[in-house]
């Protein structure tokens, strides 16, 4: 008997799945090894020799440039131009989505295992260019060596993980048998959509969102952040090199409110994958919810937004471990992670010793140019980010007691000292609003229950950590701490693909759980098929 086309397809996917070893996270580079330090130094030199290069957009398979340009500068040394990108008009952004829409009917027919294979190839290419990728991240958005390497490793992880997830989802899925019918369900892609990432995980988030939508069989217009378009351009070049057709992935750079807005509102846009601030996420939610003339579907909006993440330190905690976890989560990458700890809520019985130890620990944090491995903290991403953070510090000085930092650090870059403001009231602005910089508010709580209540009392719900040796209290936190990613006796940053599916509640977003087994479903729709046998 001959196998049907469908059965052959299912066999090919099953075969591809068997051939792939199980997913494991990409190991981090050990920079204590001289050969790795030498490799990173060489990569920094090589990437610096390409400063000022111009990167085109790709629309309808063609390279496109514009008269208006955007210069992407190095926040450690703002006079250095890392690269120059194009500034798309709304019309060009619309052309990109129309072209992606037209190509959808070709791309969706490419078998899942072939699409997955392209992601695995892209992961291999990035592995080979690991140091260069990290060096560029270091220059364009001011990440330290270790933070840049983690971003690169996560990029590889997303590609490897989503490729495997697509192999799981491809092919017919069993349903409950019913009477004399042949019933099954398949997942099919949605159409052409937008990927609109932020700058703070410039390789990982941009590539992860884009690759997830592509491997599911959709076509994508990627509109990266203005702050990190050069890294995005490099990732797009790698995806093309790995085999993604240019019409399946259109690359548009420019202003969010011009190019991003035009893509979101276009009637042919089927979905929007956005990661960024609460305010822009809400704008997109509203714009995507409005039916445009000629629009045939309800747009799907996958929105991952900000946080005001808290670490609760119980009186029964290992205070030293809590101090270390809070210091790393508050000041790693200058506090510019959506998961960063921006509130430490500490039981009054250990409050004074916690604050004193934390200040001592944070005094050891070094700040300066990100390319110098002696610096734990680099610059914040831009002058406007720095101004916003310094404004919040002024507000904080009135709302609590400044116990560390509170000003710029020396240098021509956008350096801000690690800042700790103690005795902050739970409803103060610096305890409620996302600052996105190295500013920590420390809040005193009467007891554990009160601490949890304070932790939950914001509009966000992204990450949270609890330090306690009391099992019952940890269990209470499991149940009551309303965050998408809860960490017990460890820091609230550093989610790993596969191990910590990531996404938040409330104003932190739609809880899409990136790096989790359900993530690809956001880019698919299920079709039920039921066949009555012919007589
Ligand atoms: P942002 O909201 O300013 O920009 C994000 C993206 O949206 C950029 O590409 C920008 O160009 C685009 N954009 C801006 N206005 C737009 C519009 N009107 N229409 C369409 N697109 C538009 O955010 P950011 O400063 O790049 O990133 C920092 C924010 O991202 C923080 O709030 C942080 O917490 C959040 N973040 C969240 C997660 C998460 O997983 N929840 C991860 C990383 C960052």
Question: Model confidence over 501-520: pLDDT tens digits?
Answer: 999 999 999 999 999 999 99
Distance 199 CA to ligand 1 centre (A): 8
Higher pLDDT, 497 or 18: 497
User: Which of 70, 277, 333 to mutate for ligand 1's pocket (most ligand atoms within 8 Å of CB)?
Assistant: 277
- If one residue of 206, 230, 231, 256 were mutated to test the ligand 1 pocket, choosing by the most ligand atoms within 8 A of its CB, it would be 256
Percent of the chain with pLDDT over 70: 99
Determine the distance from the C-alpha atom of residue 52 to the mean position of all C-alpha atoms in its chain, rounded to a whole number.
26
Distance 224 CA to ligand 1 centre (A): 9
Please indicate whether residue 200, judged by its CB atom, sits closer than 6 Å to ligand 1.
yes
Query: What is the 1 CA–ligand 1 centroid distance (Å)?
Result: 54
CA-504 nearest atom, ligand 1: 41
Ligand 1 centroid, distance to 172 Cα (angstroms)? 36
In the prediction, which pLDDT does 11 show? 83
DSSP symbol at 29: P
254: Cβ below 6 Å to ligand 1? Answer: no
* 258 alpha carbon – ligand 1 mean position (Å): 14
**3-class secondary-structure state, position 31:** coil
Q: Please give the distance, rounded to the nearest whole angstrom, from the Cα atom of residue 152 to the centre of ligand 1.
A: 20
Q: Work out the angle between the directed axes of helices 229-242 and 130-141 (0-180°, nearest 10).
A: 160
- Strand intervals (E) in 126-248: 173-174, 182-189, 192-196, 219-222
Region 352-378: what's the mean pLDDT?
98
Residue nearest to atom 6 of ligand 1 (CA): 198
Task: State yes or no: pLDDT of 55 exceeds 70.
Answer: yes
Chain CA centroid to CA 397, Å: 31
pLDDT of 417 higher than 70: yes
Average pLDDT, the chain: 97
pLDDT of 7: 78
- Cβ atoms of residues 77 and 369 within 8 Å: yes
What band does 289 get if pLDDT is binned at 50, 70 and 90? very high
CA of 8: how far to CAs of 2, 13, 14, 185, in Å? 9, 9, 10, 17
Largest CA distance in the chain: 84
Residue of 140, 315, 338, 399 with catalytic role: 338
Angle of helix 204-215 versus helix 112-128 axis, rounded to 10: 160
Query: Is 338 designated active site?
Result: yes
Pairing of strands 309-313, 341-347: parallel
Ligand 1 binding pocket includes 504 (Cβ within 6 Å): yes
Structural domains of the chain ordered from first start: 2-305+511-531 (3.40.605.10), 309-496 (3.40.309.10)
User: Is there an atom of ligand 1 within 6 Å of 327 CB?
Assistant: no
Atom of ligand 1 nearest to the CA of 307: 34
Residue 340 in contact with ligand 1 by CB distance below 6 A: no
Q: Is the CB of 338 under 6 A from ligand 1?
A: yes
Give the model's confidence band at 1: pLDDT under 50 very low, under 70 low, under 90 confident, else very high.
Answer: very low
pLDDT for the residue numbered 18: 82
Over residues 233-288, the pLDDT tens digits come to: 999 999 999 999 999 999 999 999 999 999 999 999 999 999 999 999 999 999 99
82's enclosing H/E stretch is strand 77-86
- With beta carbons less than 8 A apart as the criterion, state whether 403 and 420 touch: yes
483/310 Cα distance (integer angstroms): 10
Residue 335 in contact with ligand 1 by CB distance below 6 A: no
Residues 6+ apart with CB under 8 A from 162: 119, 208, 211, 212, 215, 519, 520
Is the pLDDT at 443 greater than 50? The verdict is: yes
- Please compute the mean of the pLDDT values over residues 467-495 and round it to a whole number: 98
Closest CA to ligand 1's atom 16: 256
Count of Cβ atoms closer than 10 Å to residue 429 Cβ: 15
Distance CA 313, CA 319 (A): 8
pLDDT-based confidence at residue 13 (cuts at 50, 70, 90): confident
What's the 256 CA to ligand 1 centre distance in angstroms? 9
501 lines ligand 1 (CB under 6 A): no
Whole-number Å distance, alpha carbon 184 to ligand 1 midpoint, is: 39
3-state secondary structure 87-111: CCCHHHHHHHHHHHHHHHHHHCCCC
Q: Is the CB of 264 under 6 A from ligand 1?
A: yes
Average pLDDT value for residue range 176-199: 96
Asked if residue 154 has its Cβ within 6 Å of ligand 1, the reply is no
| Start-to-end C-alpha separation, the chain | 19
Q: Which atom of ligand 1 is nearest to the CA of 224?
A: 9
Of 256, 276, 512, the residue with max ligand 1 atoms within 8 A of its CB, to mutate for a pocket test, comes to 276
Distance, CA 437 to ligand 1 centroid (Å)? Answer: 15
Q: Residue of the nearest CA to atom 23 in ligand 1?
A: 276
What's the pLDDT at 17? 82
Identify whether the C-beta of residue 327 lies closer than 8 Å to the C-beta of residue 364: no
Q: Quick check: 2 pLDDT over 60?
A: no
**Average pLDDT of the residues in 50-74:** 98
Active site residue 341: no
Strands 57-59 and 62-64: antiparallel
Mean pLDDT within 357-375: 98
Q: Which atom of ligand 1 is nearest to the CA of 261?
A: 19
Judge if the beta carbon of residue 151 lies within 6 A of ligand 1: no
Look at residue 30 and tell me whether its pLDDT is greater than 60. Answer: yes
Cβ–ligand 1 contact at 232 (below 6 Å): no
């Amino acid at each position: 008997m001959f196998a049907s086309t469908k059965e052959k397809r299912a066999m090919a996917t099953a075969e591809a799945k068997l051939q792939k070893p199980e997913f494991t996270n990409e190991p981090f580079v050990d920079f204590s090894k001289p050969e790795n330090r030498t490799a990173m130094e060489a990569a920094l030199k090589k990437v610096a020799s390409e400063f000022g290069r111009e990167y085109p957009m790709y629309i309808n398979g063609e390279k496109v440039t514009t008269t208006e340009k955007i210069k992407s500068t190095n926040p450690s040394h703002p006079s250095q131009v890392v690269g120059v990108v194009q500034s798309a008009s709304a019309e060009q952004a619309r052309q990109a989505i129309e072209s992606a829409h037209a190509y959808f009917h070709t791309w969706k027919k490419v078998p899942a295992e072939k699409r997955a294979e392209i992601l695995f190839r892209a992961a291999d290419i990035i592995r080979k260019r690991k140091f260069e990728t990290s060096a560029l991240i270091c220059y364009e958005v001011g990440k330290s060596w270790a933070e840049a390497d983690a971003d690169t490793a996560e990029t590889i992880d997303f590609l490897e993980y989503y490729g495997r997830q697509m192999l799981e989802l491809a092919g017919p899925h069993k349903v409950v048998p019913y009477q004399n019918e042949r019933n099954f369900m398949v997942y099919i892609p949605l159409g052409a959509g937008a990927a609109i990432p932020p700058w703070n995980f410039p390789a990982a988030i941009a590539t992860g969102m884009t690759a997830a939508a592509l491997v599911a069989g959709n076509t994508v217009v990627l509109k990266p952040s203005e702050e990190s378009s050069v890294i995005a351009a490099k990732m797009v070049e790698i995806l093309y090199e790995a085999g993604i057709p240019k019409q399946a992935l259109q690359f548009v750079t420019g202003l969010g409110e011009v190019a991003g807005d035009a893509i979101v509102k276009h009637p042919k846009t089927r979905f929007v994958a956005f990661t960024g601030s609460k305010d822009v996420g809400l704008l997109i939610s509203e714009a995507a919810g409005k039916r445009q003339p000629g629009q045939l579907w309800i747009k799907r909006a996958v929105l991952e937004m900000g946080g005001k993440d808290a670490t609760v330190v119980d009186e029964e905690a290992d205070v030293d471990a809590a101090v270390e976890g809070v210091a790393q989560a508050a000041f790693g990458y200058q506090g510019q992670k959506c998961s960063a700890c921006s509130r430490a809520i500490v039981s009054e019985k250990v409050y004074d010793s916690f604050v004193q130890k934390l200040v001592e620990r944070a005094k050891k944090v070094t700040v300066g140019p990100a390319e110098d491995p002696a610096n734990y903290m680099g610059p914040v991403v831009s002058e406007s980010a720095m101004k916003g953070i310094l404004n919040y510090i002024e507000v904080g000085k009135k709302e609590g007691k400044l116990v560390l930092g509170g000003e710029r650090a020396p240098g021509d870059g956008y350096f801000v000292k690690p800042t700790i403001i103690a005795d902050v009231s739970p409803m103060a602005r610096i305890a409620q609003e996302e600052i996105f910089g190295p500013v920590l508010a420390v809040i005193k709580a009467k007891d554990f229950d009160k601490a949890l209540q304070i932790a939950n009392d914001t509009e966000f719900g992204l990450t949270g950590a609890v330090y306690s040796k009391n099992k019952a209290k940890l269990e209470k936190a499991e149940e009551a701490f309303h965050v998408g990613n809860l960490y017990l006796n460890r820091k609230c940053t550093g989610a790993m693909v596969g191990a910590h599916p990531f996404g938040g509640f409330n104003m932190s977003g739609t809880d899409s759980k990136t790096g989790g087994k359900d993530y690809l479903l956001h880019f698919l729709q299920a079709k039920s098929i039921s066949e009555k046998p012919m007589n």
